[in-house]
Amino acid sequence: MATNQMRREAAKRKLANQQKRREEQARRRKRVAVISSAAAVVVVVVAVVLLTTAPWRSEAPTADTAAPSGTAAPAAPTDAAQNVPTTPAAVPVRPTALPATVDCQYPTGSEAAAKPVNPPSATTGVSSQGTVAASLTTSAGPIGLTLDRALAPCTVNSFTSLAQQGYFDGTTCHRLTTSPGLQVLQCGDPSGSGSGGPGYTFADETFPEIKYGRGLLAMANAGPNTNGSQFFMIYGEAQLSPDYTVFGTIDAAGLQTLDTVGAGGTTTGQGDGAPATPVTIQSASVQS
């Protein structure tokens, strides 16, 4: 028969066990909270990295966006660019002008060109004065460009050479971003994968004072001095560090074309991916 002493000892053991379980549950809840907080931080960091590195060569999925016969039209995209600025940004100006001519280097790399093409033939005495008129005839509408030698003579020299060789003809603009802070259309990869280039690279032509915005034309890159053929056209905001070479501007008709593409959103519906309004560069021409 249990005595009072035995019952008291049993009650103490029960109380101790309950306290131990409560402490273990509290520790588990704390661990879960810490893990959840860490996961949230990782998500934020990833989002910031994607924003600040967006104009490079991430692969963009492709999809047939046409509705099958007899089906309802697709709903309006949820990732269409919102609050797009309507006033073009000021064109950057170098704090110190370049010499009248410069020398450029276009070393070939280990990766083959996405489409047969030669590096620019002119590498010495490249002009850093004046502008070059260029135009992209695209499936979405015309895009007129003014290439600025004073900003980036070696970049203009490369773009002009590629256009004259027909490198951009028949290529797709593989990536559209519509998110607040980054509203651009990226083109220049004949493979359409986001990883193709001309088989050569050249140095950045940047300076710390560069600010990006609507109407500017800039080079995509994979890090310092890795420019190739991919470029991006800014139709809205572009909150970026000054690591991307600006080499020209987009005319009013071109911005209207880009606004239409941006309003169509992306095939992913996530604000970053292939444009839902396909953009094929049918031809690119320059008037040097």
Q: Answer yes or no: pTM beyond 0.95.
A: no
> According to the model, what pLDDT value does residue 217 have?
98
DSSP per position, 155-223: HHHHHHHHHHTTSSTTEE--EEE-STTEEEEEE--TTSSS----SB-B-----TT----TTEEEE--SS
Say how far apart CA 214 and CA 212 lie, in whole Å: 7
For residue 271, give both structure tokens: 């604000």
Which residues lie closer than 8 Å to 8 by C-beta, 6 or more apart? Answer: none
For residue 44, give both structure tokens: 């934020």
> According to the model, what pLDDT value does residue 112 have?
95
Residue pLDDT, tens place only, 174-207: 999 999 999 999 999 999 999 999 999 999 999 9
Residue pLDDT, tens place only, 60-87: 322 222 222 333 334 446 688 778 999 9
Q: Which residue has the tokens 């609507």?
A: 214
* pLDDT average, residue stretch 28-51: 41
Say how far apart CA 167 and CA 230 lie, in whole Å: 11
Around Cβ 4, how many Cβ atoms within 10 Å? 7
Around Cβ 201, how many Cβ atoms within 10 Å? 21
Residue pLDDT, tens place only, 137-178: 999 999 999 999 999 999 999 999 999 999 999 999 999 999
Closest CA to 126 of 148, 151, 147, 153: 153
C-beta separation of 286 from 155 below 8 A: no
Per DSSP, the three-state class of 281 is: strand
- What is the distance of C-alpha 100 from the center of its chain? 32
Say how far apart CA 82 and CA 95 lie, in whole Å: 33
> According to the model, what pLDDT value does residue 40 have?
42
- Is 90 exceeded by the pLDDT of residue 257? yes
Q: How far lies 175's CA from each of 111, 193, 196, 274, 277, in Å?
A: 21, 9, 13, 5, 11
Q: Tell me the CATH number of domain 101-287, given options 2.40.100.10, 3.30.230.10, 2.40.50.220, 3.40.50.2000.
A: 2.40.100.10
Residue pLDDT, tens place only, 192-201: 999 999 999 9
- Is 90 exceeded by the pLDDT of residue 49? no
Beta strands in 27-181 (DSSP E): 101-102, 126-127, 131-138, 141-148, 171-172, 175-177
